A = this chain, B = another copy of it.
Amino acid sequence: MKKERRRFLALGAGVMTGSGCKAPIEKSESGAHMRAYGERSPHENTVRVIRELTKSPGTGSSRTPHADLFGTITPSALHFERHHSGVPSIDPAKHELLIHGLVEKPTVFTMADLKAFPSFSRIYFLECGGNSIGDQSGNTQPDVQRSHGLLSCTEWTGVPLKTVLRELGVKTEAKWMIAEGADAGRMARSIPVEKTLDDALLAYGQNGEALRPEQGYPLRLLLPGWEGNTNVKWLHRLEFATDPAMSAKETGYYTELGKDGKAQIFTFIMEARSVITRPSGGHTITPGFHEITGLAWTGRGRITRVEVSADGGKTWADAALQEPVLPLAVARFRMPWEWDGKPAVLQSRCTDETGYLQPTHDEIIEVRGHFSNYHYNAIKPWRVAADGKVTHV
């Protein structure tokens, strides 16, 4: 966030004549060859921060560096990850999806079978239910990548699950679908049958190309607006049943503890949230003009409003939303701000199309108590000190 001093040139100086123009470039030798598959400039080095939770490889998370990103699309190479048994290596020519249980016609599909169905594409956000788990419990993270990096947004392509199920016939007694991944741990989640007949997608494409391995290559379940963990990666089995599987990831994890200490299970929808990504924790700013920018999203449709406060929540003003604001996708918001050099607290809050207003930390504690870990969606304040250093509050 360091501002460089611009050089204003005197009119009529030699530098202004077309032919004598100073060429402000590093070098002008003959350029490089083209590449069949492009890469970043060697000067660009923003990466996912990896946190491995066990000694088992790939068990943990990597987080999207939102402070360094622009717009609404997350590059696939920087999409967040959360794995429970690492990233399996799958040959798509051999991968199969079994759909069975309470269906009239149990079937095994190859990837070619699935790609032969009518396809569908949409830009959707995806957020881990444990995003900002530290902020809820008081273990506040120092920057937006660590605090909010388990959120990303890409364009997904696949076949609507309901299109496939129409051929198989889901029996009326089926109330749940158990989705299982082909990772070593066979990560599994139970999904109410209503979602499978609504907007669930069997996704094989992301941002124009095939899914990346860490996003479930060659096939993942995509449940728009729902807790990331239910969007089962490396999908190889869907079983329809009368009851949920009560799998490890829906009993031991991804349940919320209420104020009374009792577990709330099968909480799927990610409620409305927003966060300022620039300036944010770890930045140092100088007095003068800044653009405050960030992201807002909701699992209940469209973001309708984002407000920004620079005085710790005493006063708020409407931010501009990047057009178009898409349902179930992140919205980029922007607000011009003139910093006077005095201590400030920056924060954003959003409203979604249901009228839901993003709560404060205290409001969440009041309702959910201190035990809750998942689905934390409170307003995130960033403190700006007199020396320009931005830190978490």
Chain A residues near B (Cβ < 8 Å): 2-4, 6-9, 11, 15-16, 18, 21-41, 43-44, 46-50, 52, 56-58, 60-62, 68-79, 81, 83, 85-98, 100-101, 105-110, 112-113, 116-122, 154-157, 178, 182-184, 186, 204-205, 207-210, 212-214, 217-218, 234, 236-237, 239, 241, 245, 289-291, 293, 322-324, 326, 332, 334, 336
Number of identical monomers bound together in the oligomeric complex? 2
Instruction: Pick the residue among B9, B32, B92, B96 that contacts A106 (CB under 8 A).
Output: B9
- CB pair B24–A184 under 8 Å, yes or no, is no
Residues of B within 8 A of A30 (CB): 56-58, 85-86, 184
- CB pair A34–B7 under 8 Å, yes or no, is no
Expressed in whole angstroms, the minimum distance between the Cβ of A213 and any Cβ of chain B is: 5
Expressed in whole angstroms, the minimum distance between the Cβ of A264 and any Cβ of chain B is: 26
Whole-angstrom distance between the alpha carbons of A239 and B23 in the complex?
13
Expressed in whole angstroms, the minimum distance between the Cβ of A286 and any Cβ of chain B is: 10
| Beyond known contacts A37-B77, A38-B213: 15 more, CB 8 A cutoff | A18-B101, A18-B178, A21-B98, A21-B100, A24-B182, A25-B90, A28-B88, A28-B184, A31-B58, A31-B88, A37-B48, A38-B212, A68-B209, A71-B155, A73-B155
Residues of B within 8 A of A293 (CB): 119
Main secondary structure of the interface of A (DSSP, over half): loop
Select from chain B the residue with minimum beta-carbon distance to A91.
B26
- CB pair A6–B107 under 8 Å, yes or no, is yes
Instruction: Pick the residue among B56, B105, B110 that contacts A4 (CB under 8 A).
Output: B110
- CB pair B31–A98 under 8 Å, yes or no, is no
- CB pair A118–B334 under 8 Å, yes or no, is yes
5 tightest A-B contacts by CB? A31-B86, A24-B96, A70-B205, A71-B121, A70-B157
- CB pair B23–A72 under 8 Å, yes or no, is no
- Known interface pairs A32-B86, A70-B157; A26-B209 also in contact (CB < 8 Å): no
Residue from the set A75, A78, A182, A322 with the largest chain B CB neighbour count within 10 Å? A75
Whole-angstrom distance between the alpha carbons of A76 and B108 in the complex?
34
Whole-angstrom distance between the alpha carbons of A192 and B332 in the complex?
31
Expressed in whole angstroms, the minimum distance between the Cβ of A206 and any Cβ of chain B is: 8
18 residue pairs from A and B, CB less than 8 Å apart: A3-B112, A8-B105, A15-B106, A16-B101, A21-B237, A23-B237, A24-B97, A25-B95, A28-B186, A31-B183, A34-B48, A36-B49, A41-B92, A41-B210, A71-B156, A72-B155, A75-B207, A117-B291
Whole-angstrom distance between the alpha carbons of A253 and B74 in the complex?
36
Residues of B within 8 A of A16 (CB): 100-101, 106
